[in-house]
Amino acid sequence: MNLKITSFSEYKEVYDYSVREPENFWAEIADSFRWRKKWDKVLEWNFKEPSIKWFQGAKLNITENCLDRHLEKHGDRPAIIWEPNDPDEAHRVLSYKQLHDKVCQFGNVLRNNGVKKGDRVCIYLPMVPELAIAVLACARIGAIHSVVFGGFSAQSIADRINDAECSLVITADGGFRGAKDIPLKDIIDDALVQCRSVQKVIVLTRSRSPVSMIKGRDVWWEDEIKKVETQGNPPCPVEIMDAEDLLFILYTSGSTGKPKGVVHTCGGYMVYAGYTFANVFQYHPGEVYFCTADIGWITGHSYIVYGPLSQGATTVMFEGVPTYPSPSRYWDIVEKYKVNILYTAPTAIRSLMSFGTGPLEGKDLSSITKLGSVGEPINEEAWHWFDEKIGNKQAPIADTWWQTETGGIMISPIAGVTTTKPGYATLPLPGVQPVLVDENGKEIEGNGVSGNLCIKFPWPGMLRTTYGDHERCRQTYFSTYENMYFTGDGCLRDEDGYYKITGRVDDVLNVSGHRIGTAEVENAINMHTDVVESAVVGYPHEIKGQGVYAYVILGESVHDKELTRKNILQTVTRIIGAIAKPDKIQFVSGLPKTRSGKIMRRILRKIAEGETSNLGDTSTLLDPGVVDEIKAGAL
């Protein structure tokens, strides 16, 4: 089967085939990858336990598909183009051969430092090529990587290291993001006070800031590379992995306070990330592809590293932010590298829109042929601006819907092949079987309907478990509706059968495309000494999509509320990271609770959204009067 779909009629034909004969469909897709041994069985599954196994018995190493198989014909092709935070610093280009050499070198460094197949490695690095190198080196030697986004606090990192029992951490002395210097090694040092499992820390030199190096534990990346070079750069044989062996753990925020480690495995994830990348973006050899995400999130895993490299693509990696040193930074990068495909987040688009068209003046964006958006549904105004100002109405927009747990894009236009609709994720990709269900799990059929979005059949990129806690995986994704994966999202299917995601239906917020559990933020707020209780909800935010609104009950000893507000923000930053800071904090004397003690977040959500005229029946609350007080003090 040809990996890429080239017309709408072919999409319909392939989609029908993928639903009718899913195992044959995915086996044909998988045939385009390199395997050491083919599978004995394509799929075995049930959504009850859940137990999902793809390509059982197959042997492979994902880095042979991302690197080795391209060397003979395309070794000199650029694999990664790296653009630094500071535009005056030199950029770097790594060819497939150079990337392969560096991954092998660092794979040997990891082995020299005691890392074996199955060991967990925590990676906390800035967006530099060494982050991709570290990820691929782990995969090459069979170690399981857990990348933690550089904006998380020491406490968040410690939670993740302890949950996965990581034996080694890879970090840098510091990092740059916009005008900020991030003290990565200091943050790791603070985290490791709580982490007994970590034996070694490898530290990359990036910011040249002074750091403490602990004898016997901390080593410099550059020194370790030199040791390998003096041994004559021995080859780094790949660890042969089973298709269902763990590839990585990626922590995502849940509806309880504890982050959960989503587990992806080698074979199915590889096939799915590669297939969806090639298809959605209609990637052609030689095109320059720029995904603006951070590798600390799933988008960076699937669509900066594994997806593009498995297809021999040239992928741009950017260390900085879209507005530094000016809001024309993305457009400078597009012009500099003649970017053909730009994949970014609605938050970034809305932020750049707010600067008007000035930053676009004189910028040559004519190389762009395809656009993509990711992280949250894109609003119509941002869609049209993206289409007109960036794509010149010539570049189709793939508004992609997917999740950390799905491993890759699930519902999306295929660039230039299927029709786009502003604000719509449109149609499921081949092999993806979405359904809408009502509150009781009954399937809602036909078009012009809305309900909760579920998937009724497995796909190769889906999560297999949550690390160390399979029951949590079952309860979160498979227990709400029988024999279905529940996405946690509400969805509308219009008269044409096109899907539009309408937002989370669980206690999870989508802030700037990042999922944050309300319980996690509440736990952090409640740790402040002056806080008695809190409740957190989302509200519409013109840049972030959703903002964080916190209702907080204070103790009686508080005199300076403004200082307390700042202290609460500092507490959340310290415990989770600045990404979870509430945008609004309203101090209240009580919360709307039922007689059984349940907080009625529905009422709080409506007040935060400014919809106070229709709060429904409040007479059943323990203290209905508290609602009027909250309404009166709304920010």
Tell me what pLDDT residue 598 has.
73
Amino acid at 442: K
Contacts by 594-599, CB closer than 8 A, 24 or more apart: 594/620, 594/621, 594/622, 595/620, 595/621, 595/622, 597/622, 599/535
Residue range 241-257: mean pLDDT, rounded:
87
Tell me what pLDDT residue 182 has.
94
Per-residue pLDDT reduced to its tens digit, 59-109: 999 999 999 999 999 999 999 999 999 999 999 999 999 999 999 999 999
Question: In 7-66, where do the E strands start and end?
Answer: 41-46, 51-56, 59-60
CA 378, CA 423: separation in Å to the nearest integer? 5
Task: Answer yes or no: is pLDDT of 346 > 70.
Answer: yes
The 10 Å CB-count burial string (b at 16+, else e) for 4-25 is bbeeeeebeebbebbeeebeeb
CA 565, CA 567: separation in Å to the nearest integer? 5
Tell me what pLDDT residue 28 has.
96
Residue range 368-384: mean pLDDT, rounded:
92
Amino acid at 368: I
Task: Answer yes or no: is pLDDT of 233 > 60.
Answer: yes
Tell me what pLDDT residue 2 has.
63
β-partners of residue 541 are 545
- DSSP at 482: T
Task: Answer yes or no: is pLDDT of 506 > 90.
Answer: no
Query: Which pairing describes strands 434-437 and 449-455: parallel, antiparallel, or unpaired?
Result: antiparallel
Per-residue pLDDT reduced to its tens digit, 149-176: 988 899 999 999 999 999 999 999 999 9
Tell me what pLDDT residue 403 has.
94
Residue range 299-306: mean pLDDT, rounded:
98
Tell me what pLDDT residue 1 has.
52
Tell me which of 372 and 255 has the higher pLDDT. 372
Tell me what pLDDT residue 379 has.
86
Tell me what pLDDT residue 536 has.
93
Domains of the chain plus CATH, in order, are 8-61+248-504 (3.40.50.12780), 63-239 (3.40.50.980), 508-632 (3.30.300.30)
Confidence of residue 254 (pLDDT cuts 50, 70, 90): low
Per-residue pLDDT reduced to its tens digit, 433-457: 999 999 889 999 999 999 999 999 9
pTM for the whole structure: 0.90
Ramachandran region, residue 522 (left: φ > 0; alpha: ψ -120 to 50; beta: rest): alpha
Work out the angle at residue 203's Cα, subtended by the Cα atoms of residues 105 and 63, and round it to the nearest 5 degrees.
Answer: 35
Kindly state the tokens that stand for 119: 């060991």
Task: Answer yes or no: is pLDDT of 537 > 60.
Answer: yes
Work out the angle at residue 437's Cα, subtended by the Cα atoms of residues 434 and 441, and round it to the nearest 5 degrees.
Answer: 120
| Residue 81 CB-density burial (10 A; 0-12 exposed, 13-18 middle, 19+ buried) | buried
Tell me what pLDDT residue 258 has.
76
Kindly state the tokens that stand for 365: 């964006």
- DSSP at 577: B
Residue range 278-297: mean pLDDT, rounded:
96
Task: Answer yes or no: is pLDDT of 3 > 60.
Answer: yes
Tell me what pLDDT residue 534 has.
92
Query: Which pairing describes strands 370-373 and 51-56: parallel, antiparallel, or unpaired?
Result: unpaired
Neighbours of 216 (CB within 10 A): 7
Residue range 32-51: mean pLDDT, rounded:
97
Residue range 19-35: mean pLDDT, rounded:
97
**What's the chain's average pLDDT?**
93
Phi, psi of 512 (to 5 degrees): 50, 35
Kindly state the tokens that stand for 304: 């900066």
428 preceded by cis ω (within 30°)? no
Percent of the chain at pLDDT > 70 equals: 98
Residue range 599-609: mean pLDDT, rounded:
88
Tell me which of 230 and 361 has the higher pLDDT. 361
Query: Which pairing describes strands 531-541 and 545-554: parallel, antiparallel, or unpaired?
Result: antiparallel
Kindly state the tokens that stand for 591: 């919360």
